[in-house]
Amino acid sequence: MEQRSLTLSPPELSEDALGFFRWGRVAGHVLVTNDAGDWARLSEAEFADLLAGRIADGHPRFAELQGKGFLRDGLDLDALAARMAQRNRHLRRGPYVHVVTLTVRGNAPAPALDAAGLDMTPETAAQVAEFVLQSTSPAVTVEFQGHTGEPLRNFDVLRHFVEVARTHNQRSTGKTLRLRVLSNFTALTEEIAEWLIANEVLVTTSLDGPAALHDWNRTWKEGSAHADVVRWLDYFQRRYAELGRDPAQWHVEALLTTTRRTLDAAREVVEEYATRGLQTLCLRPLDRARFDRDTWAAIGYTIEEYLEFYRRTIDHILEANRRGIVLAERTASIILTKMLTSDDPGAVDFQSPHGAGTGQIAYNVDGRIFPSDEARIVDAMGESFFELGHVRSLSIQDIVRHPTVRAIAAASLLDAQPMCADCWNKPFCGFSPVRNFITQGDLFGQRPHCVECKEHLAISTRLVELLTDDSDATRQETLKRWTAGSVHTPTDGRAFPESP
Amino acid sequence: MAAQDSTQESRLGFSLGTDHISFEVDETVYPLEAVYGACYLFLEKCFVYLSRSATGAVDVRLTSREAASPAELDQLAGAFANELLSQVTRLRLSQATARIRDYYTAAALRAAASAPSVDDLLAELEAEELLEDPLEIMVPWEEKHGTKQDETEPK
Amino acid sequence: MSERITFDRSLYLPEAVEAAAAAYTDHARIELTPGADAVVAVISDVLEHDPRLVAHAFCNHALHETIARRRQAAVDEAG
């Protein structure tokens, strides 16, 4: 074998002059971040100065880096701790997103259950409704869904659930109770629509782009044709307006399923969402593990292809905003909230530890409880590893303390994971151990192979590039508006529900 | 750990095989934690195997997953070496700031978990010394006259 | 045809090598022989894949398990 050698020049390091931070190279600069979520972009020379302890009073970056906690000189640990506590307030909140699967009936093959097991019963719904209100969170969101897309097939039970929940809440718990139904509109009628409006149940549906693209997706997943989706979208928007409801809260959300065909239609998808008056576009890659080989061959793609699509779509969305269209990208909104504020956007997939079981709980049609809807789907695929028990025999405290929930938390604490613990993106990131279980067979997963890691890092990188490009003030303002609470991006719900 | 000075360059030798490179890494310069940190990042693009041929040295073999030219393997060696340096810097910074991080993490977790329940408040009251009760009116008779209960740890 | 791999105990946790062997039961027969200084793994009866590829991937998995477990132990110790 040939012998060679490398000459290495270790950086000058004055570690006693520094606070703790992580770093990485982004767009030709060095990005430093700390546990409070503060960050700064440095040139290589400035980074060398930082490491060597040469950033002192008088240095052009001194005030900024000192204020953000990167320097030992003047380090305010209590302020740092306060910012961290704000970011981690979800730890004391209690489960705030409750995903209730009302039916497994649908056009696609259902799991092997007898007819009686296809729908949630009124009795189980009442138990779930009361269970949800045990949460210590002052506000809870209940999301109704169907296993294959249409909870309205069990509308009577949905109605019963809402009545029980509202009665119980008014009588005893007094929480802010938000209700949302994820419907593909295949079972929607005007009567049901009016009931949803009158009873303040928000609506999310599936819209995969312009008609040709949306309808092509219906060849492998169930759902309404584009024309029907648009008809109902218009119906709800019109009725909300007639009733004088605040459009900031009262509007239909839509979810996009990104398939191979979508990758070539970034502009068309954005224009479709803008045309329909939708305010949020949620971009997520398909989960390879949920599809058989033949289906994946038809609709799938690599993560690299997806990330290229993401970059192009973000550019189109920003261009639409320049034209006065209010449209935000959901994943970007979540990460921007973490980058630009000390708020927690409430997205369990971006929490450390992951919020499965502590922030989100999922309920199957038969009343069995899971730490997340993803975990419930694992059960539906035949692996009962994540089942926590039944709603009739557990309390919320049992859930939060359950060994499975603890294992998920331990596996997703970024400070304890190799690679994550050193990553500059750590304050803005999170991952799902349940997803690791699906794709790699264990909760922890080999980080370098995690698709979620590649996705989150690439998006954060792109956002930093955009935020630190001073050439376009309008774009900067748009990105700042996307932080949760500033724009019409729902925060008290799952970041990424399955498209109905 | 050996002190590092920007004026002190070091040489890191490696062997170039047909599909792999091998380093003998001096642990006094590159602690094992730094070696692990660098190796972990290369698990996706390479097959990584560690062994020992001498005390205090770790043999790191990186085998390319795909066919690789000598130039590509050379590049891989450079990337790994740079990452080794980076990991040593991270390790030193992490060790120097361990107490700082312990402090603010504990403070942040306390603050994040600090919304007390009524039961917690009652428990705190029970554990408090009864400094404002010189006649011990609030002290149960059993405590005054019977077997002393175990003292609870103050929060 | 079998492949023999030596995992030095000062570099690989024995329990990590065991965990990796358990994870690979669907791909090969892996016999572990713990010794004072090393755990020796013998990989045989490889199913479907190139035996060399399986051996390499098994080593990666043992290293991943070692690093993850050591980090978790450090976090647990720090309390």
| Joined tokens for residue A55 | 């950033």
**Do A68 and A12 form a contact (C-beta atoms < 8 A)?**
no
Interchain pair B39, C6: CB under 8 A: no
What distance in Å separates residue B126's CA from the closest CA in chain C? Answer: 28
Mutate to test the interface with B, among A33, A44, A396, A422 (most CBs of B within 10 A): A422
Residue B106 located in a structural domain = yes
A417 interfacial to chain C (CB closer than 8 Å)? yes
Nearest CA in chain B to C66: B36
Query: Which residue is associated with the tokens 């979810």?
Result: A255
**Do C34 and B78 form a contact (C-beta atoms < 8 A)?**
no
**Do A142 and A361 form a contact (C-beta atoms < 8 A)?**
no
For C39-76, give the secondary structure using H, E and C.
EEEEEECCCCCCHHHHHHHHHHHHHHHHHHHHHHHHHH
% of chain B with per-residue pLDDT over 90: 57
A136 and A239 inside one domain? yes
Amino acid at residue number A318: L
Q: What is the pairing mode between strands A139-146 and A176-182? A: parallel
A52 and A169 inside one domain? no
List Cβ neighbours of B9 (8 Å cut-off, separation of 6 or more).
A7, A8, A9
Secondary structure E strands in A332-391: 360-363, 368-370, 389-390
Interchain pair B40, C59: CB under 8 A: no
Interchain pair B6, A418: CB under 8 A: no
Structural domain total, chain B: 1
C61 interfacial to chain A (CB closer than 8 Å)? yes
- B40 interaction partners in chain C (CB closer than 8 Å): 63-64, 67
Strand partners, A254: A205
A329 and A271 inside one domain? yes
Residue B40 belongs to domain spanning: 1-148
Residue B65 located in a structural domain = yes
A299 and A368 inside one domain? yes
Residue B154 located in a structural domain = no
**Nearest CB to A92 within list B9, B43, B112:** B112
**In angstroms, what CA-CA distances link C1 with C4, C32, C44, C74?**
10, 16, 6, 39
Q: What confidence category does residue B152 fall into, taking pLDDT thresholds of 50, 70 and 90?
A: very low
Residue C64: give its domain's CATH number. 3.30.70
pLDDT(B119) > 80: no
Task: Classify burial at A179, counting beta carbons within 10 Å of its beta carbon; exposed 0-12, middle 13-18, buried 19 or more.
Answer: buried
Phi-psi region of B66 (alpha: psi -120 to 50; beta: other; left: phi over 0): beta
Structural domain total, chain C: 1
A290 and A328 inside one domain? yes
- Share the mean pLDDT of chain C: 93
Residue B155 located in a structural domain = no
Nearest CA in chain B to A22: B90
ipTM associated with this complex: 0.95
Q: How far apart are CA A411 and CA A443, in angstroms?
A: 6
Interchain pair A418, B15: CB under 8 A: no
- Residue ending a domain, among A340, A358, A379, is A379
Phi-psi region of A389 (alpha: psi -120 to 50; beta: other; left: phi over 0): left
Q: What is the pLDDT of residues A60-115, one digit of tens each?
A: 999 999 999 999 999 999 999 999 998 888 888 899 999 999 998 865 444 555 44
Residue A53 belongs to domain spanning: 15-87
Interchain pair A418, C67: CB under 8 A: yes
Q: What confidence category does residue C15 fall into, taking pLDDT thresholds of 50, 70 and 90?
A: very high
Interchain pair C68, A417: CB under 8 A: yes
Residue C38 belongs to domain spanning: 3-78
Q: Edge-to-edge strand order for the sheet containing B57-64?
A: A2-8, B10-16, B20-26, B57-64, B46-51
- A447 interaction partners in chain B (CB closer than 8 Å): 40
- State whether residue B63 is helix, strand or coil: strand
- Residue ending a domain, among A324, A355, A379, is A379
Nearest to A135 by CA among A326, A304, A366, A369: A369
Tell me the pLDDT of chain A (500 aa) as tens digits.
Answer: 899 999 989 999 999 999 999 999 998 999 999 999 999 999 999 999 999 999 999 999 999 999 999 999 999 999 999 999 988 888 888 999 999 999 988 654 445 554 468 899 999 999 999 999 999 999 999 999 988 768 999 999 999 999 999 999 999 888 999 999 999 999 999 999 999 999 999 999 999 999 999 999 887 777 788 999 999 999 999 999 999 999 988 999 999 999 999 999 999 999 999 999 999 999 999 988 778 888 899 999 999 999 999 999 999 999 999 999 999 999 999 999 999 998 888 899 999 999 999 999 999 999 999 999 999 999 988 999 999 999 999 999 999 899 999 999 999 999 999 999 999 999 999 999 999 998 888 898 888 889 999 999 999 999 999 999 988 888 999 999 999 654 434 444 566 677 77
Query: Which residue is associated with the tokens 């935000």?
Result: A328
Structural domain total, chain A: 2
**Nearest CB to B100 within list A9, A13, A77:** A77
Residue A69 located in a structural domain = yes
What single-letter DSSP state applies at residue A363?
A: E
**Nearest CB to B43 within list C12, C60, C78:** C60
**Do A371 and A409 form a contact (C-beta atoms < 8 A)?**
no
What distance in Å separates residue A416's CA from the closest CA in chain C? Answer: 6
**Nearest CB to A416 within list C23, C60, C72:** C72
Residue B153 located in a structural domain = no
Interface partners of chain A (CB pairs < 8 Å, 3 or more) are B, C
- State whether residue A273 is helix, strand or coil: helix
A149 and A58 inside one domain? no
- B95 interaction partners in chain C (CB closer than 8 Å): none
Interchain pair C67, B32: CB under 8 A: no
Residue B62 located in a structural domain = yes
Residue A420 located in a structural domain = no
Q: What is the pLDDT of residues B57-88, one digit of tens each?
A: 999 999 999 999 999 999 999 999 999 999 99
A55 and A194 inside one domain? no
The H or E element that residue A240 is part of is: helix A226-242
Nearest to A378 by CA among A342, A336, A408: A408
* Cα A347 to the center of its chain, rounded Å: 5
A315 and A174 inside one domain? yes
Interface partners of chain B (CB pairs < 8 Å, 3 or more) are A, C
pLDDT(B121) > 80: no
- Residue ending a domain, among A379, A399, A415, is A379
What single-letter DSSP state applies at residue A205?
A: E
Q: Edge-to-edge strand order for the sheet containing C3-8?
A: C3-8, C38-44, C29-34
What distance in Å separates residue A415's CA from the closest CA in chain C? Answer: 8
The H or E element that residue A309 is part of is: helix A303-322
A67 and A212 inside one domain? no
**Do A165 and A120 form a contact (C-beta atoms < 8 A)?**
no
- A36 interaction partners in chain B (CB closer than 8 Å): 104
Residue A180 located in a structural domain = yes
Q: How far apart are CA B116 and CA A337, in angstroms?
A: 28
Interchain pair C12, B50: CB under 8 A: yes
- C63 interaction partners in chain B (CB closer than 8 Å): 39-40, 43, 48-50
**Nearest CB to A78 within list B9, B74, B107:** B107
What distance in Å separates residue A446's CA from the closest CA in chain C? Answer: 7
A315 and A296 inside one domain? yes
Q: How far apart are CA C27 and CA C21, in angstroms?
A: 10
Interface partners of chain C (CB pairs < 8 Å, 3 or more) are A, B
Helix ranges (DSSP H) in B42-137: 70-96, 98-112, 118-127
Interchain pair C64, B102: CB under 8 A: no
Residue A162: give its domain's CATH number. 3.20.20.70
